[in-house]
Amino acid sequence: MPFVLDTAELPAGDRIEAVHAAMQEASAPCYVIHEDPGGDVHALMGVWELGPANIFTNRASGIRLSRTAKQAKQDVEPVVALSVQLLADGRREQLSAREVVKPGELMAMDLSAPYEFSWSGTGAAGCVQIRFEQLGLPVDVIRDATGNLRASPLNRLFTDHVSHLVADAGRLSADAGAAALGTATVELARALLISAAHPGRHTAEVLHQTLLTRVRAYVRRHLTDPALRPATIAAAHNVSLRYLYKICAEAGFSLEQWIIGERLAGARADLVRPSSRGHTIAVIARRWGFSDPTHFTRRFRAAYDITPGEWRRSGTPR
């Protein structure tokens, strides 16, 4: 279930405490200092789950968030936040780095380390929060990357991705493909951080090394598109189909079979989802890119040793 705080629903005297409590729940514990505590304090916060990641949005009056070294030591699950500033200039200080983040720009914050972040007047930002363990990267790589995102050729791609997520967080988190979208987001974030942590490498080299990660993320975002096929994937990444197959072969990776497997997994989850009870198996199959119900049933049985109808009647995953 999403978590949402709207201080417009609270008495003015309760808002400061409510914002502080919400911030501790939505993000990392920190001190919350309001620019004008005696004035019009207001905030609208939301948190939505997206599989291995979550989306956090905040629109609020002038605010400063301060996380101390003592608070940072209390963390058991380090998290990185990749945030797009939406309104007002954000001011970030962490690990001896300072930057001004203008609306439309991306920043990264290691929430397991001390930091200061603020804006004046009414501001807004939206981010994805990902646990370090989901990224599978060394801590020093993540921290090297946080202050150097602008050097990455993947910066604009990821900025646009986060902007779309926060603009439609409620609908996307409730969609059948939410977990797959979250996994795609983690993979894109991993590619971005690797790229930003190695600014000395040429753009072409970075793009080559992250191509498979970007392809996986792209596929997971477009699994329900019936037009998804290797040729469209290659075109979307400005590479030839031959080169795409070469990269996949070097990784011991069958692109077509992986796409089918991901679509089957999505359909399998959808079949027992309460919100899909009114949809036929054929409709669900088409939603996940299978235009032929017979072909879908055959592939489903081969993958899970059960027919889609039997799986649906079972009602619970096995």
pLDDT digit string, tens, across residues 229-284: 999 999 988 889 999 999 888 888 899 999 999 899 889 988 988 888 889 999 99
Distance of CA 293 to the CA centre of its chain: 32
pLDDT band at 138 (very low <50, low <70, confident <90, very high): confident
Do 201 and 72 share a structural domain? yes
Domain range spanning residue 64? 1-213
Q: Please state the domain count of the chain.
A: 2
Over the stretch 188-225, which tens digit does the pLDDT of each residue have? 998 899 889 875 554 566 566 678 878 887 888 888 88
Over the stretch 27-42, which tens digit does the pLDDT of each residue have? 878 899 999 999 999 9
Q: Is 233 helix (H, G, I), strand (E, B) or coil?
A: helix
Structure token pair of residue 145? 């990357």
pLDDT at 45: 94
Do 230 and 208 share a structural domain? no
- CATH number reported for the structural domain that contains residue 266 in this entry: 1.10.10.60
Over the stretch 44-98, which tens digit does the pLDDT of each residue have? 999 999 999 999 999 999 999 999 988 887 766 789 999 999 999 999 999 888 9
Q: Which residues pair with 85 in a beta bridge?
A: 125
The conformation of residue 201, written as its DSSP 8-state character, comes to S
- Residue 14's φ and ψ, nearest 5 degrees, are -100, -5
Question: How far is Cα 61 from Cα 75, in angstroms, rounded to an integer?
Answer: 27
Do 207 and 85 share a structural domain? yes
Do 289 and 146 share a structural domain? no
